[in-house]
Structure 1
Amino acid sequence: MQLEFHQVDAFSDRPFSGNPAIVYRLDAWLADELMQKIAAEHNLAETAFLVREGSVWHIRWFTPATEVPLCGHATLASAYVLFEIYKEATERLDFICKSGPLSVTREGARLWLDFPAMEPAAIDMTPDIERALGVRAVEILGANKLFVVLESEQAVLDCKPDMVALAKLPWPGVIITAQGNQHDFVSRFFAPAIGINEDAVTGSAHCSLIPYWAKRLDKTSLSAYQRSQRGGELFCRLEGDRVKIGGNATLVASGTLVLGL
């Protein structure tokens, strides 16, 4: 068996920045165990698998260690592959996944994710969280991920978390964020519990970041930058109970996976 794949740097208009993802367009689903092994073999933050179901695409995402319910950058990468490699003749792609319906719209060179807003709510500020991150938090909230507000962009850059301690916290990932110097807000994202110490650019984290900063800054259109080593710029809008996350994407590799089955 041979399977075609494509590697895309999402949230970047040039190679070797943004967040890399592998995309497989399948005719039918592979066994879950096999998809997990393929994701582990590629060893990137996410590998996306797509199967057309009627007029929509069913999408699933795997880290090297586990399947996840929502992933922004690999959805952006998947839409780019469908538009640019497989020449889907539309300006909007609709997806279904474990987190509900999603869509990606093409506006020129920029792609826009339509994801659910997940506004974070206050939780108890426990010393374990600050110790694991090695920082003093201004505010600690929670949604589907732990959400920690720091005092400045420099504090976000300087954060050096204890990954072993973070992995023991009862959340699959931890967002740290602050108001930005050149952008409305900046962030970083850590998820050692699911096999990703630090993610390069995390679209799904912005499901919580956008409603939080929209309320804090009293604006619904925002610019964001994820301050990982690779880095990535995101264009953000809050529209009711949905968030729109815009970004560019760049194809960096295509190939064939050979399975001796």
Structure 2
Amino acid sequence: MKKLPIYQVDAFADAVFKGNPAAVVTLEKDWLSDELLQNIAAENNLAETAYIIKRKDHYDIRWFTPATEVDLCGHATLASAHVILNLLEQKNKQVVFQSHRSGTLTVTQNKEQLELDFPTDVLEKTDLPEALIQGFGVVPTEIWKGKTDYMLVFDTQDQVEALQPNFHWVARVEARGIIVTAPAKDTSIDFVSRFFAPQSGIDEDPVTGSAHTSLVPYWAKRLNKTTLVAHQVSPRGGIVHCQHQGERVKLAGKSSLYLEGNILLED
């Protein structure tokens, strides 16, 4: 019987049962087959399962939802860094990841927070797909398209919180997922968001780090500021501290370890 270490971390959370849970599986030298990686992620049934392999000066990383491999995942990267910096390499304060889909990603311990360094998304204004008109039943003020997601901008936080998507229609949109966003009511928060991705096996993601690579450049320009605080207003919710740095964006948050154990596989 082969054992694979597995950890579950609540990312962008100051305690367990908050933020966004992610599984982290450590592998020794080589990737398992894509089919097995996908089967494990489906069995975990979390928004994301991250797989990491220790190399000489970095970790290789890949991310899987229950349905597919994705280009980038913020909360599972933060969860992976939590495992490395708190359990595997406690003397270190920084970890470098290499993704064959998203390049070099750095996570740094900054007091009680972990800070992600990600590439900034490039957004273009676009038209609203018919499936999203049917899926949301309301028309946003602005519609943008990034590398993998649509971003719909609304006038108020109340509109964002009131959305009850028809996932049958939303899943028809050719995208990883749909970001919805609006200015925050709380003056200590700059903007709020939610993220829907039924086409990736996740109806609503609790806190989506990668979505903030699209959100931050938009709100930084609109609010004329480079340091922002974001609140993803899902039922679990989470706070993301953001910095816009041109072609890169920094996203910081807390994290909490929920469990550690082993996956049992037949040899």
The offset of 1:255, in angstroms, is: 1.0
Name the CA distance, whole Å, in 2 between partners of 1:65 and 1:178: 29
Name the CA distance, whole Å, in 1 between partners of 2:38 and 2:78: 20
Matched residue SS, 1:85? helix
Name the CA distance, whole Å, in 1 between partners of 2:130 and 2:201: 24
Name the CA distance, whole Å, in 2 between partners of 1:41 and 1:232: 25
- Residue number in structure 1 paired with 2:158: 154
Aligned partners of 2:206 and 2:232 also within 8 Å: yes
Calculate percent identity across the aligned residue pairs. Answer: 46
Aligned partners of 1:119 and 1:212 also within 8 Å: no
Aligned partners of 1:7 and 1:254 also within 8 Å: yes
Aligned partners of 1:7 and 1:21 also within 8 Å: yes
- Residue number in structure 2 paired with 1:121: 124
- Residue number in structure 1 paired with 2:16: 15
> Could you give the per-residue CA deviations for residues 127-177 of structure 1, whole angstroms, max 9, x where no partner exists?
442221222210001002101001100000000111011111111200000
The 5-angstrom pairing of residues 3-152 of structure 1 reads 3-28=4-29, 29-97=31-99, 98-144=101-147, 145-152=149-156
Name the CA distance, whole Å, in 2 between partners of 1:137 and 1:100: 33
Aligned partners of 2:194 and 2:234 also within 8 Å: yes
Name the CA distance, whole Å, in 2 between partners of 1:50 and 1:224: 28
Aligned partners of 1:9 and 1:21 also within 8 Å: yes
Structure 2 gaps, min length 5: none
Distance 1:206 1:195, change over 3 A: same
Q: C-alpha root-mean-square deviation of aligned residues, in Å?
A: 1.0
Name the CA distance, whole Å, in 1 between partners of 2:192 and 2:77: 21
- Residue number in structure 2 paired with 1:200: 206
Name the CA distance, whole Å, in 2 between partners of 1:88 and 1:240: 31
Aligned residues: 261
Distance 1:44 1:219, change over 3 A: same
- Residue number in structure 2 paired with 1:233: 239
Name the CA distance, whole Å, in 2 between partners of 1:156 and 1:179: 10
Name the CA distance, whole Å, in 1 between partners of 2:166 and 2:225: 34
Name the CA distance, whole Å, in 2 between partners of 1:165 and 1:179: 26
Matched residue SS, 1:7? strand
Name the CA distance, whole Å, in 2 between partners of 1:125 and 1:259: 45
> Could you give the per-residue CA deviations for residues 57-104 of structure 1, whole angstroms, max 9, x where no partner exists?
100001111111100000000000001111243221111111111100
Aligned partners of 2:107 and 2:116 also within 8 Å: yes
Name the CA distance, whole Å, in 1 between partners of 2:236 and 2:50: 20
Letter in 2 for 1:250: S
Aligned partners of 1:130 and 1:137 also within 8 Å: no
- Residue number in structure 2 paired with 1:175: 179
TM-score (norm 1): 0.98
TM-score (norm 2): 0.95
Matched residue SS, 1:14? coil
Name the CA distance, whole Å, in 1 between partners of 2:117 and 2:84: 17
Name the CA distance, whole Å, in 2 between partners of 1:256 and 1:91: 26
